Amino acid sequence: MKLDLSGHHVEITEGLREAANNKFSNIKSHYPDVTNLSLILTVERHEHKVEANTSYKGTPIAVRASNDDMYAALASASSKLSAALAHRKGSASAGRHKKPEYQMEAGAAE
């Protein structure tokens, strides 16, 4: 999985890069179809925000998290993304758009 980190009013340090890789490592093991993950880290007035964007089976998925601490915001965004991917995985495997199959009764006219 390719992880793209970008910062807005924050410098992407090696510690932030390592924390992001650690927090989002379970995403790549549980959802191998996710090949690209984009993280935008922002600091505004003592509020740290993380926005994660990806696509899963053709559907774009975006989550946002904020906290007073950047590492806590990364953890929150990771759990939100896992929940969103699990929801999407369930709805994709439900097969909602398949045509219903009708069975004809014995002796019915065809």
Q: Model pTM?
A: 0.77
- pLDDT for the residue 87: 87
- Distances in Å between the Cα of 25 and the Cα atoms of 1, 44, 87 are 9, 27, 19
- pLDDT for the residue 36: 92
Calculate ∠ Cα 57-95-100, nearest 5°: 150
- pLDDT for the residue 20: 93
- What domains, with CATH codes, occur in the chain? 2-70 (3.30.160.100)
Q: Tell me which residues of the chain have a pLDDT lower than 50.
A: none
- pLDDT for the residue 76: 95
What is the rounded CA–CA span in Å between residue 59 and residue 32?
Answer: 15
